[in-house]
Amino acid sequence: MDIRQLLLAAFEVEHREHVDAIRAALAGGADGRPPDWNDVFRRAHSLKGASRAVDLPQVEAVAHRLEALFERIVAQGRMPDRAATAAIHLALDRIEAYVAGLQDGIGPDMPDDVLGALDRCLAPAAEAVGPVAPPAPLQDSPRDPPAPPERPGPVPSPDPPAPPEPAGESPHPLLRVPAEAVEALTRATHELASALGGEAVIAEGIAGLGRRATALAGRAEHLRGRISRPGAASRPDEAAGDSLAAELRAFEAGLRALAREAADLSRIRAGIGATLDGAASRVAGEAERLALVPAETVFGGFPRALRDLAREAGREVAVTAQGLDLPVDRAMLQALKDPVLHALRNALSHGAEPADMRERRGKPAALAISLDVAVRGGRLHIAVADDGKGPDLPAIAETGRRRGLLAPGADLDAEGLLALVFEPGFSTAAQVDTLSGRGIGLSVVADAVRRLGGQVRLAPRDPWGSVLAMSLPLSVARQALLLVEAGAETYALPSSAAERLLRLAASDVERVMGRPVARIAAQGGAALTLPILRLGALLGARAGTEPEAAEGLTAILLRAGDRRIVLAVEALRDVRTHRVLPAPPIGADPRLVAGTVILPGDRPALVLDPEGLIARALEDGGVAAPGPAGDGTNATAPRSPQRATILVVDDSITTRTLEKGILEAAGYRVVVCVDGQDALERLRAGIEPVDLVVADVEMPRLDGFGLVEALRAEPDFARLPIILMTSRGDPEDVARGLQLGADAYLTKQKFDQRQLLDTIGHLL
C-alpha cells in the first residue's frame, strides 16, 4: 500500500471524529447546553488542514467556509440561526458523502449547494453571525461559485448522494483496530510472559520427580541385594524370600519406568515451553506493529501540502523531511498531526521574505523549511525550522502589550517574548488569510504537546530564521537500552547516548577544584577533561554503595547533544532491545525519567533521560564520584533512623516496587500491601512493628481515606505517621486527607523522591 493510501485511511478516521464532535456540539446547543464553540472552530480548522494534507481540495473548500462561519459565531457569542444550522449540517453531510465516495484517492464532485449555502451565511447581510467579510476563495477550488442572491428561510439539506459501489476488494485491505484492543493485546503479552516463567518451575518439578523416582529405584536395588545375599534367609523361608525378591524386582522395574516417563514428560514440557516462548515473542512483535508505525504514515503528506500552500500564495519554498522512517506510537502521531501541520504553516507564513531581501542576505530564492523527527535521550524530538526572517520580537512585544499579556513598562528577554506566541489568539499577522492571522496555529501546537507531557519552544535560528522544537516522552517504542546498576537498583539508559564504556583505574582520576575528573581521549586525538558523576548520587540513592576509585571505576561516557559527562555505576549488565512504556507517576525526579521497561521476572526498571542526568549534574555543580581520596559520600543523601520499618500500600505493582526500591536504598526496611484492607489486617495482626505508612488513595476494597480513618479510630495506631501519596491533587482531596488525620499529602504528578524522603525524615 502506498503512502497516500495510508494517509487517506487515517483521514477517514480523523474526519469522522471532527464531524461527530461538531454534530454533538450542535445537538447540545439545541438542548440548551451551550457548546464549546472554540473547540468546534478548532475542529473545523484541523479538518481543513487535514484535507489539504491528503489533497482533497473540495473538502478543504467546505471546511474553510465552516471555519470562517464558526469564527463569526465565536465573535458574536450567540447560537447560529436556523439557516446557519441547516447549512452546517448540509456541509457535514456533503463531507461525509465525499469521503465515502473516494475511489483510488479521487472523490465525486462536491455538490454546489453546500458552498452556496455557506457563502450565503457568510455574506455581509447575513444576521446569523454578524457582519464580517467572508474569506477569500481558495485558489485550488475552481468550483467555488459567486454568492447567489440572498434567499430567506433555511437552506434545504438534500440527501447526500450514495457512494458508488467498490470496484473490487483492495489487494491491501485495512484492518481498523481500536486503541483499546491494542492495549489489551499488549497486556496479554505481559501476562503470557509471566505465565511462561511458571512453566520453567513446572518443568523443574517434573525433573525433580524423575530424580526422586531414580533414587527410589536405587534403594530398591539395595534392598534386593541384601535379600539375595547367601545366608540372608533360612531354608524354611526360601519361598517367602523368593516372593519378596520378585516383588522388589517388579517394584524396581516400575520405578525405572516412572523415571523414564517423567524424563520424557520433562523433555516434552521443555519443548512446549520453547514453543510458547516463540509464540509470545511473535504476539509481542505483532502488538508492537499495531502500536508503532513509521512517522511517514502521518507526516508523509505534509511537504506536498506545504508546497501547494506556497504555490497558492505565490511563494517559492524548498521543503525537506528527515526521520520519517522512525517508528513511533500510532496514537502519539495522530495527536501530533495537527500541531506539526500548524507549525509548518506558521513557518511558511512568518518566515517569508521579499525576494530582494533574500538576495541581499545571500539566501536562495526559495524559503527553506525542514521537518526533522528523531529520538534522542529517550524522547521524541520534532523540529520545524526555516531560513526566513526569524521572529519579529518588536511586533511580538507590541501584540503582547495590546492583548494585555505584557505590561506597558515590562521588558522581557527574547525567550520570554517568544513564549507569548503560544497564547490562544496571539498573532502578529497584519491580515487574515488561509495561512495565518487567526492566532490559532501555535496555540494548537502548545496545547497538544503539553497534553502529551512534552515541551515546545520557539527560538531564533543561527544565522537566519527560526526553529520550533517539540520534545515529548516516548509513550511506546522499542529501544536498545544499556542496563546498569546503581544504588542496588537496575536502571536503563538509551544505548545511543553511551558513547563509550570505561574502566577507570585510580591513576586515571584527577581532582580539579576538589572534584574528580577524568581525561578521555576524543576523536581526532584530542583529550577531554570531564567530570565524574555517580549515578546513585544523581538519583539520590544511598551513599557509599558504589565502588571506590582504588578498586577501579566502571563508568559510561554519556553524551547528550554536545555535552558529555563520565557516569560512574556499580556494574554494567547488558544491552538489550526493550519495549519502553510510559514513565510511572512516581519514581526519581520526573526530569530524569523517560519511561519504564519490564525486565525478566516482571521487574520494572526506570529508563533514564541522558539530557536530564547531565542537566542535573550541572545544576548540582558536579556531584562527585568517589575519587582517589575515597570521598564517596553524598552529602545531600537523607539520613534515616536505623532500620525503621515503613509500610507501603498501593494496588499498582509498579508503584509498590519503585517506592520499595527508593525507601530501601535510603536505609529503611519496607513491607508492602496491595490495598487498604490488606494493610489494616496486617497492622492489626501485629506481624511486625511499623513506624510509618505510605499509602495510595485510589485502591480497591478500602481506599487511602478509609485506611486513615480506620487507623485513627484505633488507639494503637492513633499516632502512627501516615503519608498519603496519590495522583488526586485537588484541593478538596488534600483537605479531606488531612482532616481525616494524614500527616502529609503528596501528589505523584509533582513527585520528587527527595521530598518523600525529607517528609519521612521529619515524621520519624
**341 or 134, which is more confident:** 341
| Domain final residue, candidates 473, 506, 534 | 473
Residue 127 has what pLDDT?
Answer: 45
Give the highest mean pLDDT range of 121-135, 213-227, 306-320, 391-405.
306-320
Determine the pLDDT at residue 155: 36
| pTM, two decimal places | 0.43
Query: 415-443 in b/e burial notation, b at 16+ Cβ within 10 A?
Result: eebbbbbbbeebbbeeebebbbebbbbbb
For the segment 345-351, the average pLDDT, to the nearest whole number, is 84
pLDDT-based confidence at residue 692 (cuts at 50, 70, 90): very high
- Joined grid coordinates for residue 31: 438542548
Q: What is the pLDDT of residues 285-320, one digit of tens each?
A: 666 666 677 888 888 888 878 887 887 888 888 888
> Would the pLDDT of 758 be above 70?
yes
Asked, for residue 561, whether it belongs to a domain, the answer is yes
- Do 563 and 608 have their domain in common? yes
Task: Tell me the percentage of the chain whose pLDDT exceeds 90.
Answer: 8
Are 614 and 506 contained in the same domain?
yes
Same structural domain for residues 569 and 500? yes
Confidence of residue 618 (pLDDT cuts 50, 70, 90): low
pLDDT of residue 622: 44
Categorize the per-residue pLDDT at 9 as very low, low, confident or very high, splitting at 50, 70 and 90: confident
Averaged pLDDT for residues 111-136: 64
Same domain, 374 and 464: yes
Could you tell me if 530 and 456 lie in one domain?
no
* Mean pLDDT of the region 101-113: 81
**Same-domain check for residues 465 and 482:** no
Question: What span, in angstroms and rounded, lies between the C-alpha atoms of 604 and 598?
Answer: 5
Backbone angles phi and psi of 676, in degrees to 5: -65, -40
When divided into structural domains, the chain yields a total of 5
Q: Assess whether pLDDT exceeds 70 at residue 640.
A: no
Structure-model confidence comparison of residues 437 and 49, the more confident one = 49
Is 528 among the domain residues? yes
Q: Based on the number of CB atoms within 10 Å of its own CB, is 585 exposed (0-12), middle (13-18) or buried (19 or more)?
A: middle
Express as a percent the part of the chain with pLDDT over 70: 71
Within a domain: 310: no
Same domain, residue pair 463 and 394: yes
- The domain boundary, picked from 584, 619, 654, lies at 619
Tell which residue, 587, 751, 585, has the closest CA to residue 665: 587
Closest of 322, 312, 294 to residue 64, by C-alpha: 312
Residue 142 resides in a domain: no
Residue 62 belongs to domain with CATH number? 1.20.120.160
Q: What is the pLDDT of residue 523?
A: 58
445 in a structural domain: yes
What is the average per-residue pLDDT within 104-127?
78
- Asked whether residue 483 falls in the same domain as residue 560, the answer is yes
- Is residue 74 located within the same domain as residue 183? no
Which tens digits make up the pLDDT trace of 51-66? 887 888 899 899 998 9
752: Cβ contacts below 8 Å, ≥ 6 apart = 589, 590
**pLDDT range class, residue 691, cuts 50, 70, 90:** very high
pLDDT at 478: 64
Answer yes or no: is pLDDT of 402 > 60.
yes
**373: which 3 cell numbers?**
523527527
Statement to judge: residues 568 and 681 lie in one domain: no
Residue 172 forms part of a structural domain: no
Q: Which range of residues forms the domain containing residue 737?
A: 645-763
Cβ-count burial 696-707 (b if 16+ within 10 Å, e if not): bbebeebbbbbb
pLDDT for residue 304: 78
C-alpha cell of residue 403: 492583548
According to the model, what pLDDT value does residue 428 have?
A: 61
Query: Does the structure show a pLDDT above 70 at 377?
Result: no
The confidence score (pLDDT) of residue 274 equals 73
pLDDT for 128 beyond 60: no
Cβ-contact 734, 708 below 8 angstroms: no
Whole-angstrom distance between the N-terminal and C-terminal Cα of the chain?
64
CA-nearest of 571, 561, 560, 573 to 481 is 573
- When pLDDT is cut at 50, 70 and 90, the band that residue 725 belongs to is confident
- Averaged pLDDT for residues 596-623: 76
pLDDT at 425: 62
Tens of pLDDT, residues 560-599: 766 788 899 998 888 877 777 767 665 556 678 877 888 8
Residue 716 sits in a domain whose CATH number is 3.40.50.2300
pLDDT at 561: 66
pLDDT of residue 103: 79
Going by pLDDT thresholds of 50, 70 and 90, the confidence category of residue 491 is very high
pLDDT recorded at residue 289: 65
What span, in angstroms and rounded, lies between the C-alpha atoms of 575 and 566? Answer: 19
**What average pLDDT does this structure show over 458-471?**
89
pLDDT at 721: 93
Mean pLDDT across 168-176: 43
The yes-or-no verdict on residue 385 having pLDDT over 90 is: yes
Does 336 lie in the same domain as 469? yes
- Helix H or strand E encompassing 261: helix 238-291
- 101 lies in some domain: yes
- Say whether pLDDT at 23 is over 70: yes
Give the C-alpha separation, 333 to 290, whole Å.
Answer: 13
Q: What's the mean pLDDT in 201-224?
A: 74
Q: What was the pLDDT predicted at 369?
A: 92
- Higher-pLDDT residue of 138, 692: 692
Mean per-residue pLDDT over the chain, rounded: 74
Question: What's the burial of 70, exposed, middle or buried (CB within 10 Å: 0-12/13-18/19+)?
Answer: buried
Q: pLDDT at position 601, please?
A: 72
- How many Cβ atoms sit within 10 Å of the Cβ of residue 590? 20
Helix (H) or strand (E) holding 397: helix 393-402
pLDDT (0 to 100) of residue 239: 63
Burial of 78 (0-12, 13-18, 19+ CB in 10 A): exposed
Task: Identify the bridge partners of residue 737 per DSSP, sorted by sequence position.
Answer: none
In-domain check, residue 137: no
Say whether pLDDT at 358 is over 60.
yes
Residue 439 has pLDDT above 50, yes or no: no
pLDDT for position 634:
34
Q: Is 508 found in the same domain as 447?
A: no
